[in-house]
Structure formats: structure tokens, C-alpha cells
Amino acid sequence: MAGPSAVAVTLTVNGKPVTAEVDPRTLLVDLLRGPLVLTGTHVGCDTGQCGACTVHLDGRAVKSCTLLALQADGADVLTIEGLADADGTLHPMQAAFKECHGLQCGFCTPGMVLSAIDLVRCHPGADEATIREQLDGNLCRCTGYRNIVKAVQLGATAMTCQGTGGSAAGTHVPIRAGQGA
């Protein structure tokens, strides 16, 4: 895929160092899903609307379909594959989505989970209305948001109890070394 004007990008993905030669046009999501085979990050609309491609870039939720891979040069990237502990213990937000059945087909779920973690970082005590408003970068086309919002509420409580929620703006969710690629 690397053409004559290929550029080198070096980044950390789920705790592991990655170096790749990419065509400058390569989107971050295509680097993740292609060479790195991290297919948990989904391409939904491919126009920056739906949030299915959400990953964390240095702890912040971003849309990897609207980011050039070279914009992640030097950054820490966390995908859904890197969220659970090495022993398979789910992140509290993942566990909450499972517990509340905050999904139907599951296509939007990786983006929802990563966006929700960033939401809790910025709004640790968010009420239902705030969660609905602050989750507007992620679309579910199956069934609606009721269980998703319940999951975010439960996940927020669990994250706060585990100390992974952050009590002030600017607190990073720890990037965990995880499985995958």
C-alpha cells in the first residue's frame, strides 16, 4: 500500500509499539483494521457522523475515519481490543454494556464504549440527560439509546468505584497494555 511518497509513522497501539510505512492518505482506521488486524474498530458511515470508528488518541475519544494515520504519529492509541485486562477481565464500561444489554447488533458498541469512557472522564457524575447529550457523536441504528444510557450510568459508577473514572477534567483513563496485534 505504501507508494513512492510513503511516510513512516510510529505509534503505540494498545500498549505495543508499532511502526508502519503508509501512503499519506491512509486513515487511522484503515491502518488499524488492515495491517494491524484490529477489526474491532468499525467503519460505519465513513463520513465522521456515526462514531463506530471511535478510538482513544492519548486518552481522548476521536473518530479514526476522520484522522490520517500520520496524525497519530507519536501517540498512544487504544482500541476496543486493548480495553479489557490481559486476563480477559472486562473494563467496567464493557461489563456495564453486557449487564444492561446496551446493544442489539453490536456494530456501534466498540465506539459507544470508548466514547462513554471519555464521557465519564469529562463528566464523572453525569445524569441521564447529560449522557444523552454528550453521547451525540455515536449513533445506534438498531433500537435506540435507553439501554445504552443505562449502561453508561452503570459503567460510570463502576469506573468511579474502581478509580478509573477520573474526578476532574484532564484526568486520563489509563491506557492498558492489552491483547491483540
Partner 1 sequence: MYPFDIVRPASVAAAAAALASSGGRALAGGQSLVGAMKLRLAQPGTLVDLSGIPGLTGIRRDGDAIVIGAMTRHAEVAASAEVGRAIPALAALAGGIGDRQVRNMGTLGGALANNDPAACWPAAVLGLDATVVTNTRRIAAADYFRGMYETALAADELIVAVSFPIPDQAAYVKFANPASRFALVGVFVARTAGGVRVAVTGAASAVFRAGSVEDALSRNWTAAAAQGATVDAAGLNGDLHASPEYRAHLIPVLAARAVASAR
Question: Is residue 47 involved in binding partner 1 (CB under 8 A)?
Answer: yes
In this structure, what are the phi and psi dihedrals at residue 9, rounded to the nearest 5 degrees? -125, 140
Choose the binding region for partner 1 from 68-76, 97-105, 124-132, 155-163 (rule: CB under 8 A): 68-76
Question: Is residue 109 involved in binding partner 1 (CB under 8 A)?
Answer: no
Looking at the Cβ atoms of 139 and 179, the one nearer to partner 1 is 139
Q: What is the CA radius of gyration of the chain?
A: 16
Close Cβ partners of 140 (under 8 Å, ≥ 6 residues apart): 103, 104, 108, 112, 148
Assign 77 to helix, strand or coil.
Answer: strand
Dist CA 156 CA 162 (whole Å): 10
Question: Is residue 115 involved in binding partner 1 (CB under 8 A)?
Answer: yes
What is the 8-class DSSP label of residue 91?
A: P
Choose the binding region for partner 1 from 22-30, 33-41, 87-95, 96-104 (rule: CB under 8 A): 22-30
Applying CB under 8 A, among 93, 119, 131, 173 the residue interacting with partner 1 is 119
Question: Is residue 71 involved in binding partner 1 (CB under 8 A)?
Answer: yes
Choose the binding region for partner 1 from 20-28, 91-99, 102-110, 147-155 (rule: CB under 8 A): 20-28
Contact 181, 38 (CB under 8 A): yes
Question: Is residue 31 involved in binding partner 1 (CB under 8 A)?
Answer: no
Contact 95, 51 (CB under 8 A): no
Looking at the Cβ atoms of 16 and 123, the one nearer to partner 1 is 123
> How would you class 119 by CB atoms within 10 Å of its CB: exposed for 0-12, middle for 13-18, buried for 19 or more?
buried
Dist CA 109 CA 111 (whole Å): 5
Question: Is residue 96 involved in binding partner 1 (CB under 8 A)?
Answer: no
* Residue 89: alpha-carbon gap to chain centroid: 17
Choose the binding region for partner 1 from 13-21, 90-98, 135-143, 153-161 (rule: CB under 8 A): 135-143
Kindly list the residues in this chain that would bind partner 1 in the complex (CB under 8 A). 3, 5, 7, 23-25, 27, 46-48, 51, 54, 57, 60-63, 66-68, 70-71, 115, 118-119, 122, 134-138, 169-170
